[in-house]
């Protein structure tokens, strides 16, 4: 197998099985060998997440494959020495001709290894939409996966997954996913210019007009965006993507309580009071005004399990020298 084939297939196997640490290490080492390798890696990642439905290998139309691939990828001079030389039929062919046949070969290799993810195929899959408005809801997908939806959340999904993919779209809101294991068909959640790809795990996604946050509870997921390197997230990790600046950060999910809307549980470990009140605002849908300096009052270690707002207020007043006045949906925190 040519060097360029090895690199391509290595990347695809890594994308298909991100939990394989040996593959992850091999890809990281290859990316570090040359600047062109990193560029090529990012282009393959773009291609990997580009479509929401695919054709199987036997259905490949080479001309269509070339056209679609050229839309997603640009020529990569120097990416891997001799990257496309194996497909050159004659020295007289133009550079563009060489790239076109190389693109078709790359598509075929991707489909052969990954189960056919990159060529969009027009089909008759019936798409459904679930919008929750003011009531939470849940649904079971045709593969056995379960999705829990918070209020004001919209999800688009197929009535039945086709044979070679499991792709849905989160349009906005909060959703918790419990994905049925299927090593042959990665599960993909698409959101604007980003996507989350998994094999079988559980995670929470929040999406609004400014950012997307992915909080992994069990297993491991891949977070993909148009212009950023792929991020592999383990359990206990959050990725936060800024839709306005096209930037991503990752951090521990301790004290984040991203799925508190579903579990009813709020956990705080050495959490500053100012941040505690910020999370109480989100969870109980109230406005909290701080009429005192809380920085010298220490941190909170507590777990609230389906407690009412009044119960939380009482505990905080007993623990700290503060009093909390409640005026409808507005709380005012003052010194005692």
SS3 letters across 13-41: HHHHCCCCHHHHHHHHHHHHCCHHHHHHH
Confidence of residue 4 (pLDDT cuts 50, 70, 90): low
pLDDT at 142: 92
Q: Which of 273, 291, 298 lies closest to 336, judged by CA?
A: 291
Show the tokens assigned to 61: 């139309």
User: Would you put residue 186 in left (φ > 0), alpha (ψ -120 to 50) or beta?
Assistant: beta
Q: What is the DSSP string of 158-199?
A: ESS--TT-EEEEEEEEEEEEEPPP-TTS-EEEEETTEEEEES
**Of 3.90.1150.10, 3.55.50.30, 3.20.20.100, 3.40.50.920, which CATH number belongs to 264-335?**
3.55.50.30
- Residue range(s) in the chain whose domain bears CATH number 3.55.50.30: 264-335
Furthest CA-CA distance within the chain: 86
pLDDT at 178 over 50: yes
Rounded to a whole number of angstroms, the CA Rg of the chain reads 24
pLDDT at 251 over 60: yes
pLDDT at 96 over 90: no
pTM: 0.56
Q: What is the mean pLDDT of residues 180-201?
A: 87
Which range (17-21, 97-101, 132-136, 270-274) has the least confidence? 97-101
326 vs 324: CA distance, rounded Å: 6
pLDDT at 19: 66
CA pseudo-torsion sign 261, 133, 224, 183 = positive
Which range (94-103, 246-255, 327-336) has the least confidence? 94-103
Q: What is the mean pLDDT of residues 190-205?
A: 88
Show the tokens assigned to 13: 């196997």
* Residues 155 and 147 sit within 8 Å (Cβ to Cβ): yes
Q: What is the mean pLDDT of residues 228-256?
A: 84
Q: What are the residue ranges of helices labelled H in the chain?
A: 3-16, 21-32, 35-49, 62-72, 95-114, 260-263, 273-284, 309-319
Q: What is the average pLDDT score of the chain?
A: 74
- Residue range(s) in the chain whose domain bears CATH number 2.60.120.1440: 127-252
Contact partners, residue 304, CB within 8 Å, separation at least 6: 265, 266, 267, 311, 312
pLDDT at 151 over 60: yes
Confidence of residue 53 (pLDDT cuts 50, 70, 90): very low
Question: Looking up tokens 């196997």, which residue turns up?
Answer: 13
pLDDT at 14: 76
Q: What is the mean pLDDT of residues 189-209?
A: 88
pLDDT at 124: 63
pLDDT at 305: 86
12 vs 109: CA distance, rounded Å: 9
pLDDT at 83: 36
Contact partners, residue 336, CB within 8 Å, separation at least 6: 321, 322, 323
pLDDT for 303-330, tens place per residue? 888 888 889 989 898 888 888 988 888 8
pLDDT at 95: 38
| Selected residue with higher pLDDT from 300 and 67 | 300
295 vs 276: CA distance, rounded Å: 12
Architecture of domain 127-252: Sandwich (2.60)
Question: Looking up tokens 């990954």, which residue turns up?
Answer: 114
Most confident option among 36-40, 63-67, 93-97, 117-121: 36-40
CA 212 to chain CA centroid, Å, is 8
What is the SS3 assignment for 140? strand
Q: Which of 301, 253, 251, 252 lies closest to 273, judged by CA?
A: 301
pLDDT at 145: 94
pLDDT at 187 over 60: yes
12 vs 165: CA distance, rounded Å: 15
pLDDT at 157 over 90: yes
């Amino acid at each position: 197998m040519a060097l360029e084939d090895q690199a391509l297939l290595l990347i695809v196997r890594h994308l298909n099985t991100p939990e394989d640490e040996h593959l992850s290490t091999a890809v990281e080492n290859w990316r570090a060998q040359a600047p062109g390798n990193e560029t090529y890696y990012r282009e393959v990642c773009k291609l990997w997440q580009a479509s929401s439905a695919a054709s199987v290998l036997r259905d490949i139309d080479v001309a269509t494959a070339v056209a679609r691939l050229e839309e997603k990828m640009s020529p990569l001079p120097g990416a891997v020495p001799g990257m496309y030389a194996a497909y050159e039929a004659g020295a007289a062919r133009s550079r563009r001709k060489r790239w076109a046949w190389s693109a078709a070969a790359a598509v075929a290799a991707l489909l052969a290894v990954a189960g056919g993810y990159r060529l969009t195929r027009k089909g008759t899959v019936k798409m459904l939409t679930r919008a929750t408005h003011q009531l939470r809801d849940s649904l079971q997908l045709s593969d056995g996966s379960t999705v829990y939806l918070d209020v004001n959340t919209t999800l688009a999904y197929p009535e039945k997954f086709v044979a070679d993919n499991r792709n849905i779209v989160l349009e906005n809101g909060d959703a918790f996913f419990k994905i049925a294991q299927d090593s042959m068909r990665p599960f993909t959640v698409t959101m604007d210019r980003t996507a989350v790809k998994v094999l079988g795990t559980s995670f929470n996604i929040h999406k609004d007009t400014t950012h997307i946050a992915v909080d992994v509870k069990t297993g491991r997921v891949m977070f993909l965006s148009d212009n950023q390197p792929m991020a592999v997230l383990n359990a206990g990790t959050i990725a936060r993507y800024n839709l306005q600046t096209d930037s991503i950060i990752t951090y521990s999910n301790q004290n984040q309580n991203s799925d508190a809307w579903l579990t009813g549980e709020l956990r705080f470990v050495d959490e500053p009071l100012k941040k505690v009140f910020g999370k109480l605002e989100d969870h109980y849908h109230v406005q909290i005004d701080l009429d005192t300096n809380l920085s010298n009052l220490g941190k909170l270690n507590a777990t609230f399990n389906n407690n009412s707002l009044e119960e939380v207020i009482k505990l905080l007043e007993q623990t700290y020298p503060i009093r909390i006045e409640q005026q409808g949906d507005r709380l005012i925190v003052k010194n005692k």
